[in-house]
Amino acid sequence: MSAEADGSATEGPVTPGLGRRALTLLRGSRTIPRTRWTGRGNWRPTPASLPVLVLGLWVFGTGEALLLGSDLGATPWTVLAQGVSLRTGWTIGLTTFLISCVVLLMWFPLRQRPGMGTVLNIVVISVALDVMYRVLPHADGVTVRLLLVLAGILLIGAGSAVYLTAGHGPGPRDGWMTGLHWRTGWPVGVIRLGIEVGVLVAGWLLGGTVGVGTLLFALLIGQSIALSLLLAERTGEGATAPAGARG
């Protein structure tokens, strides 16, 4: 056998192997990993899990602030709140609260239980959104505004992954997402994409404002969360959370 044949035989499988690894990275995580900072339960924090939870929620709120600062469209859930507000005359704040309550009710058939993360989700994200929206600069150029949108989507995905892996229960909307994941076995990114697109269409039909940022968020947030969960899993040296850690 020639040297060239030997070389091709040894080098041939390398490229497909690299391709498979790259594809795995692009797909992200298909589940919620258990990490070294994951708490003992929804209401049992550890010295690591509580600050990680608050950090993740703050990062999430910062991402929301970037989207608002871009002035290129709200997130799908805000579009839905706007649409309902236009139809009912209620304020967006009240509408958002009521929508969250409805989403929480949808947890029960999925056997999801609220936790510390569910409560802090409401408080920390709202404070972070208010503070960071005032601190972060607002851009005028279209290119910079698009960059703000992409940065906001990246931060929302990262914040979601961080606070979900803290193990203290998801927020109302993420709880719906994770509940559907546990019950169906479908990938987290696919489920989130379906939820966001459905909410966006409903909000638009009700009269909510849709922009380029809204569409980009709906299309990219699922992949952003899946990639961030994979990074969290590898950083935290975790394994798939057992059934007892799901709620």
Q: Which domain holds residue 108?
A: 44-245
> Would you say 213 and 67 are in contact if contact means Cβ atoms under 8 Å apart?
yes
Q: Is the pLDDT of residue 227 over 60?
A: yes
Structural domain includes residue 19:
no
Instruction: Give this prediction's pTM.
Output: 0.73
What burial letters (b/e) apply to 209-238, b meaning 16+ CB within 10 Å?
ebbebbbbbbebbbbbbbbbbbbbbeebeb
Confidence (pLDDT) at 239: 45
- Total domain count, the chain: 1
Confidence (pLDDT) at 64: 84
Structural domain includes residue 140:
yes
Structural domain includes residue 39:
no
Confidence of residue 7 (pLDDT cuts 50, 70, 90): very low
DSSP state of 33: E
- 235-240 mean pLDDT: 61
Count of other CB atoms within 10 angstroms of residue 97: 13
Structural domain includes residue 10:
no
Convert the pLDDT of each residue in 115-166 to its tens digit: 898 888 877 888 887 788 888 877 788 899 999 999 999 999 999 999 989 9
**Range in 17-21, 40-44, 48-52, 105-109 the model is least confident about:** 17-21
**Strands, E assignment, the chain:** 33-34, 239-240
Structural domain includes residue 115:
yes
Q: What is the largest CA-CA distance in the chain?
A: 81
Hunting for tokens 């408080």 — which residue is that?
123
Q: How far apart are CA 209 and CA 172, in angstroms?
A: 23
Report which of 68, 70, 92, 65 is spatially closest to residue 203, judged by C-alpha positions: 92
Confidence of residue 24 (pLDDT cuts 50, 70, 90): low
Report which of 233, 110, 125, 129 is spatially closest to residue 183, judged by C-alpha positions: 110
Residues 6+ apart with CB under 8 A from 123: none
> Would you say 163 and 52 are in contact if contact means Cβ atoms under 8 Å apart?
yes
Q: How far apart are CA 214 and CA 71, in angstroms?
A: 10
Residues 6+ apart with CB under 8 A from 71: 138, 145
Convert the pLDDT of each residue in 167-225 to its tens digit: 998 788 878 888 898 888 888 888 988 998 899 899 999 998 889 999 898 889 889 99
Convert the pLDDT of each residue in 47-74 to its tens digit: 999 999 999 999 998 998 888 788 888 8
Structural domain includes residue 21:
no
Residue type, 135: V
Structural domain includes residue 54:
yes
Q: Is the pLDDT of residue 20 over 50?
A: yes
Structural domain includes residue 18:
no
- 81-91 mean pLDDT: 87
Q: How far apart are CA 245 and CA 241, in angstroms?
A: 6
Confidence of residue 236 (pLDDT cuts 50, 70, 90): confident
Confidence (pLDDT) at 25: 56
